[in-house]
Amino acid sequence: MFPVELSGAAASTLMWADESTIEEAALRQLRNIASLPWVHGVRVLPDVHLGKGATVGSVIAMRQAVAPAAVGVDIGCGMTAVRTDVTASDLPDDLRPIRDRIEAAVPVGFSMHDAAVDVGLLGLGKGWNEFWRGFDALDPAVHKRESRAMRQVGTLGGGNHFIEVCLADDDRVWLMLHSGSRNIGKELAERHISIAKGLAHNQGLVDRDLAVFLAGTPQMDAYRRDLTWAQEYAARNRAVMVALVMRAFAESFAERGVAFDEPISCHHNYVAEETIDGEQMLVTRKGAIRAGRGDLGLIPGSMGTGSYVVRGLGSAQSFQSASHGAGRRMSRTKAKKLYTVDDLVAQTMGVESRKDAGVVDEIPGAYKDIDSVIAAQADLVEVVAKLRQVVCVKG
């Protein structure tokens, strides 16, 4: 059934979704992206929906160009998960103490650590000094943010970011989290998006949010430098967070102890240099993961519908990509108007989580059906494990 061609697109645009199910604004956005002269092709995944700059759930292969707004403001946002040797029968009936321990260990929302986390105590000491030396080379506009950036390492943020305790089909307990490059990534992105919009070659674009940097220019060099650093910051943020969550979780099982597998981690808002159709391209994944043959990935649903651990099948058609999640089926504003706290309570029954007005926009009903999203990309990934959350921490 899939993929299908997007009608009216200037460049090759293959979709793992029915055109009739995608909102018109998102289709228009996809056609705008495909019309850029630097675009080789666009791939659209089943979690597709309207985004800022570029459509969420899209993969854009460009010749020697990158659109910073297409990457987005949460540079390097992604997922990490780790399997434990704890089973369902080991879990207590009351999961609130586990949630409390996680929330005490990891600041959420706008909160941050009082001081930078001692990564050495977490066994994460490699490369940090060199990484922070790179801060001085970033755009001068963010230099005053170094202390804040350090204290935000190991923090969750808000929106659709989460930390979960999940059960797999075999009753093994997994820990999973979703977060990105926090405020420093946002500030770097906004700075470069503003610069790109002012460049002469972008003045005639159908959508100024698709302004690009071109290879060989100082603006591209500066963006690639800051982008690479922010992507690493996001990965390190998740590494610290998962270590804190593992420690907090283990505290709940001090008598038996907890063993952990190696974590699985993947970006889903990022740029990589890859060979596409025999050519070197700059590939932007906006709400999409790499699904090369054998690549392990994580595709979450919503706070009440479960998630998937997958293995990539290496599809050349999809530019070796898969969806990053279920994808929203309505905006946050619409969700807040349509649903109530009572709806949230009903749709997250059995999950130890916040159940208040502050997270109604994250209600499962605001998202697409994760099982259908996985089924639509059966040629892109194979399922390793299906997880259902029993604890969900939100910002």
Confidence of residue 298 (pLDDT cuts 50, 70, 90): very high
CA distance 69 to 66: 9
Confidence of residue 53 (pLDDT cuts 50, 70, 90): confident
Structure tokens, 8:
């009216």
pLDDT score for 209:
92
Contacts of 196 (CB under 8 A, 6+ apart): 67, 68, 69, 202, 211, 212, 213, 219, 223
Are 291 and 297 in contact, with CB atoms under 8 Å apart? yes
pLDDT at 88 over 90: yes
pLDDT score for 1:
84
In a domain, 118, yes or no: yes
In a domain, 178, yes or no: yes
pLDDT at 395 over 90: no
Helices 96-105 and 218-251 meet at what angle, rounded to 10? 140
Residue 357 annotated in ligand binding: no
In a domain, 99, yes or no: yes
Residue 160 annotated in ligand binding: yes
Q: Percentage of the chain surpassing pLDDT 70?
A: 100
Number of domains the chain is built from: 1
In a domain, 175, yes or no: yes
Structure tokens, 5:
């061609």
Residue 331 annotated in ligand binding: no
pLDDT at 190 over 90: yes
What are 218-247's pLDDT values in tens digits? 999 999 999 999 999 999 999 999 999 999
User: Per-residue pLDDT averaged across 132-140, rounded?
Assistant: 97
Structure tokens, 245:
């969550």
Q: Is 148 exposed, middle or buried (0-12, 13-18, 19+ CB in 10 A)?
A: middle
* Choice among 40, 192, 267, 324 that is catalytic: 324
In a domain, 253, yes or no: yes
Per the annotation, the verdict on 324 as an active-site residue is: yes
Residue 162 annotated in ligand binding: yes
What are 339-360's pLDDT values in tens digits? 999 999 999 999 999 999 999 9
pLDDT score for 52:
85
- For residue 292, what is the domain's CATH number? 3.90.1860.10
In a domain, 57, yes or no: yes
In a domain, 335, yes or no: no
- For 292, the domain range is 4-329+367-394
Residue 326 annotated in ligand binding: yes
In a domain, 342, yes or no: no
pLDDT averaged over every residue in the chain: 97
